[in-house]
Amino acid sequence: MLELPKEFIAKYRRLLGKEADDFLASFQMEADNGFHLNPLKDLRQFASLKRQAPIPWNRENGRYGKIFGESVAFLSGVAYSQEPSAQFVARVVDAQPGEKILDLAAAPGGKSTQIAADMNNQGLLIANEISFSRAKILSENIERSGITNCIVTNHRPDELAEHFENYFDKILLDAPCSGEGMFRKDPQAIKYWHSDYSSECANRQKEILKSVLSMLRPNGQLIYSTCTFAPEEDEQIVAWLLDNYSELSLLKIRKKDGIEDGRPQWADGNRELKNTARLWPNKIKGEGHFVARLIKSKGKNQKNKVNQLRSNLSRNDSQNLQNTFKENQFDFPIKQIYRFGDYLYLFPENCPEISGLKVLRLGLQIGRLKNKRFLPTHSLALSSLGNKISQTYDLSDYEFRQFIHGDIITNLKGNFVKGWVLMTKQSNGIGIGRYSDKVIKNFYPKGLRKTIHDQPRS
């Protein structure tokens, strides 16, 4: 039985009145699991996942259920585990191809992967995380999802604001909060709660929002979300924004399937606050969330001064790389390639200048140079650009387990020539191999290798 703090119970009995019993009872119910399917991948052979119960507010790609870390669906980036209510936030963002979007507190990457899929890898997504260890996890999830238009950064909000004044079409701030909405999913979060915790979080959220607003272009949208029930961090934060920033106004959020209006009476009584959205675990199949969508009106002389990134390849490197690509039948645009040490990244079109930024991932890592040879990387295999590798080998279930373990693939089906091979499973890239002497040598990253004893589960 989940033991809630007495002060928490008293607070929500005071706020909710007759609704409190159902609300508090919901904490003793089991949390709902969910995942979203990735439309950047080939989903044709994953009918069993598609048939699982849809999440109402993400009916096209959201499903109730679990995804296992050893499954083909997970390792190929076809599916991403994500709590059902959290999937509503990206639907409010409503990302469009070609937009410039910032996901400011993005780790572990559930919302970023949804946003990138909605953008169809067109435009620019910057996924930022202040914690370096969490930013590394974010980068890994971006890679596995086959995303090519994303820059992963590791900065405080005020540091980013120095680079991106009036720049983004949309900014998502899934704000660091008291986490009340995740208590039953993560009971450890209860240990951090105390009666002043929400006020402390609200003060931190206000400081972050000051940086956020300077990065939003005129007519740009701010999507503010939390996974807490606390009015101090929800309606009261939005009321503070409206009071202190005259250029901001609230946009309506489409609500159905049990999602409710925000509660103006918990802030300053401004009826516009009904345009925000609340997800209650006693009224939907999901955890607690709050979402608001605001627009910044057009002001005077608000132009961004962000320069575009250019390739840093020397003339000699460019020529050598063109020759190497030609030999291997690759056709990546040289003008969009940036070199970090031995690694080569294909950065998004209209990519901003990155000098002074801590970048973990710059678009798509396509390969590395080793003794003037080009070695395609795991990232390339997981993206749609993996089809630039001319040879493909579809792994059987047994060979899939071998390959994930790091073994050489023998007894091959089909004919191959010496060179690189895209290894696939259920029509999706899973890694890189190289054919030579009647076997395919394994280039699956050593840090990802694992033993799978059972048939791979989708």
The catalytic residue positions are: 227
* Rounded Cα gap, residues 428 and 418, in angstroms: 22
**Under 8 Å between Cβ of 294 and 241:** yes
- What letter does residue 445 receive in the DSSP assignment? -
* Rounded Cα gap, residues 406 and 430, in angstroms: 12
Length of the chain: 458
How are beta strands 79-81 and 62-64 bridged, if at all?
Answer: unpaired
The answer to whether 123 is a known ligand-binding residue is: no
The answer to whether 407 is a known ligand-binding residue is: no
* Rounded Cα gap, residues 310 and 333, in angstroms: 12
Q: Which residues of 137-150 are buried (b: 16+ CB within 10 A; e: fewer)?
A: ebbbbbbbbbbbbb
The answer to whether 174 is a known ligand-binding residue is: yes
The answer to whether 111 is a known ligand-binding residue is: yes
The answer to whether 107 is a known ligand-binding residue is: yes
* Rounded Cα gap, residues 365 and 420, in angstroms: 16
**Any bridge partners for residue 375, and if so which?**
368
The answer to whether 450 is a known ligand-binding residue is: no
Helix-helix angle 235-244:197-215, to 10 degrees = 40
The answer to whether 105 is a known ligand-binding residue is: yes
Nearest Cα residue to 352 out of 127, 163, 116, 161? 163
From residue 214, how far is each of 98, 161, 217, 222 by CA, in Å? 21, 7, 8, 11
Query: Which amino acid belongs to residue 47?
Result: A
Phi and psi at 341, nearest 5°, equal 60, -125
**Any bridge partners for residue 80, and if so which?**
36
How are beta strands 124-128 and 100-103 bridged, if at all?
Answer: parallel
* Rounded Cα gap, residues 117 and 36, in angstroms: 11
Burial status of residue 112 (CB atoms within 10 A of its CB: 0-12, 13-18, 19 or more): buried
Q: Measure CA of the first residue to CA of the last residue in the chain; give whole Å.
A: 32
The answer to whether 106 is a known ligand-binding residue is: yes
User: Which three-class secondary structure string do you get for 220-272?
Assistant: EEEEEEECCCCHHHCHHHHHHHHHHCCCEEEECCCCCCCCEECCHHHCCCCHH
The answer to whether 175 is a known ligand-binding residue is: no
Binding site residue list for S-adenosyl-L-methionine: 105-111, 129, 174
Binding site residue list: 105-111, 129, 174
